[in-house]
C-alpha cells in the first residue's frame, strides 16, 4: 500500500482535482505544481473519459477540452512525469474503470508505480469487482480508494474494513458539481465508517468555497474540491495556474482553521 493515510495523521487534508490535458499538457503540469504550492496535500488527476456518468457539466466540458487537445491515457502519465520533475506532491488518479481495463490492470498499475501515482479512485467500479484489480494494485503499492455514499448502507462495514489510502465520502447523491445543500447525515456517516477503520476519510462532491471546505474538514479528515477548480481552468485557460494557487491557499487556510489543524 502507499503512505497516503500518513498524510492525514497530523492535519486535515485538502485534495483538489484537475482534469489532465485540460486545456493542454503544459497548463496541466503548471496547475498541478500550483496546487502543490498553494498547499494541496494530495492532487487528484482526472483521466478524461468518453462516458463520465458521475460527472456534471463542468467536468464533462473539461474532458471534452482534453479530448480536443488529443489526450490519450499515456499523455496523462507523461503529464504526471513532467510534474514530478518539479513537485513530489502525492498524486492519485480519478479514472473510470474502462480506461484501466483497456490499458490492462497490470500494465496500468505498473505505469502508475513508475510515475509515482499513489492511488486510484474508480467511481464506477463496484466494491465487489475490486478483486479484479487488487492484485495488480497491491503489487504496485497503489491504494484502491473506495467511495462511500449516503446510500451505501449495510455495505459500509465491508467497504471500510477493506479500505486503504483514504476513503472518499460522497457528500450528496447525484453527480459532481458545485452545491450549497449537502446530505444532512454526513457526521453520522463518517462516525459509522470510523467504527470499522482508522483509514482517513475525505468528503467530496459540491464543495466549492473555503467555508464549506472548513465545515467538511471539521466533519471528516479531509476535503476534496474538483468542479470549482476545473471552472477556474475553463475561465482562465493558460492563465489558470496563478488563480488556482490563490484559490488553493484560501482553502488551505480555511481547512487549517477547522479542528485538528496542522500541529
Ligand X SMILES: O=P(O)(O)OC[C@@H](O)[C@@H](O)c1c[nH]c2ccccc12
The reply on whether position 207 binds ligand X by CB under 6 A is yes
Stretch that binds ligand X, among 108-116, 134-142, 220-228, 240-248 (CB under 6 A): 220-228
Q: At residue 62, what are phi and psi to the nearest 5 degrees? A: -65, -40
Out of 38, 119, 226, 241, the residue judged to bind ligand X by CB under 6 A = 226
Instruction: Determine, following the binding rule CB under 6 A, whether residue 206 of this chain makes contact with ligand X.
Output: yes
DSSP assignment string, the chain = --SGGGGGSSS-EEEEEEETTSS-HHHHHHHHHHHHHHT-SSEEEE---S--TT--HHHHHHHHHHHHTT--HHHHHHHHHHHHTT----EEEE--HHHHHHH-HHHHHHHHHHHTEEEEE-TTS-GGGGGGTHHHHHHHT-EEE-EE-TT-GGGHHHHHHH--S-EEEE-SSS-SS--S---TTHHHHHHHHHTT--S-EEEESS--SHHHHHHHHHHSSEEEE-HHHHHHHHHHGGGHHHHHHHHHHHHHHHHHTSTT---
CB of 117 to ligand X, least distance (A): 15
**Is residue 177 near ligand X by the rule CB under 6 A?**
yes
Q: What character string, x for contact with ligand X (CB under 6 A) and - otherwise, covers 81-100?
A: -------------x------
Applying CB under 6 A, does 41 fall inside the site for ligand X?
no
Grid look-up 488527476 returns 45
Asked if 205 is part of the footprint of ligand X (rule: CB under 6 A), the reply reads: yes
Locus of grid cell 468528503: 203
Catalytic annotation on 143?
A: no
Residue nearest to ligand X (CB): 226
As measured in angstroms, the least distance from the Cβ of 78 to ligand X is: 21
Tell the smallest beta-carbon distance from residue 125 to ligand X (Å). Answer: 11
Q: Is 236 a catalytic residue?
A: no
By CB under 6 A, tell whether 47 contacts ligand X: no
Instruction: List the catalytic residue out of 22, 24, 41, 44.
Output: 44
> Smallest distance, Å, CB 208 to ligand X?
6
Q: How many residues form the binding site for ligand X (CB under 6 A)?
A: 18
Task: Figure out which of the listed residues 48, 119, 204, 222 binds ligand X, where binding follows CB under 6 A.
Answer: 204
Contact set with ligand X (CB under 6 A): 17, 44, 46, 54-55, 59, 94, 123, 176-177, 204-207, 224-227
List residues with catalytic annotation: 44, 55
Amino acid at each position: 500500500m502507499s503512505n497516503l493515510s500518513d498524510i492525514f495523521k497530523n492535519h486535515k487534508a485538502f485534495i483538489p482535482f484537475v482534469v489532465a490535458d485540460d486545456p493542454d499538457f503544459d497548463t496541466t503540469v503548471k496547475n498541478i505544481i500550483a496546487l502543490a504550492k498553494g498547499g494541496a496535500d494530495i492532487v487528484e488527476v482526472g483521466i478524461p473519459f468518453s462516458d463520465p456518468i458521475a460527472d456534471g457539466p463542468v467536468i464533462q466540458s473539461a474532458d471534452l477540452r482534453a479530448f480536443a487537445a488529443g489526450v490519450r491515457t499515456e499523455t496523462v502519465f507523461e503529464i504526471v512525469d513532467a510534474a514530478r520533475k518539479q513537485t513530489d506532491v502525492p498524486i492519485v488518479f480519478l479514472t473510470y474503470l474502462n480506461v484501466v481495463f483497456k490499458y490492462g490492470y497490470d500494465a496500468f498499475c505498473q505505469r502508475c508505480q513508475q510515475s509515482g501515482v499513489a492511488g486510484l479512485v474508480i467511481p464506477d467500479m463496484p466494491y465487489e469487482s475490486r478483486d479484479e484489480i487488487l492484485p495488480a494494485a497491491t503489487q504496485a503499492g497503489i491504494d484502491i480508494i473506495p467511495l462511500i455514499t449516503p446510500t451505501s448502507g449495510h455495505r459500509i462495514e465491508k467497504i471500510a474494513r477493506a479500505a486503504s489510502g483514504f476513503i472518499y465520502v460522497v457528500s450528496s447523491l447525484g453527480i459532481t458539481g458545485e452545491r450549497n445543500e449537502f446530505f444532512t447525515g454526513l457526521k453520522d456517516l463518517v462516525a459509522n465508517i470510523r467504527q470499522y477503520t482508522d483509514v482517513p476519510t475525505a468528503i467530496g462532491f459540491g464543495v466549492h468555497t473555503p467555508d464549506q471546505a472548513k465545515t467538511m474538514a471539521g466533519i471528516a479528515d479531509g476535503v476534496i474540491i474538483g468542479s470549482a477548480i476545473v471552472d477556474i481552468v475553463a475561465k482562465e485557460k493558460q492563465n489558470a495556474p496563478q488563480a488556482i494557487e490563490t484559490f488553493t491557499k484560501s482553502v488551505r487556510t480555511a481547512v487549517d482553521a477547522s479542528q485538528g489543524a496542522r500541529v
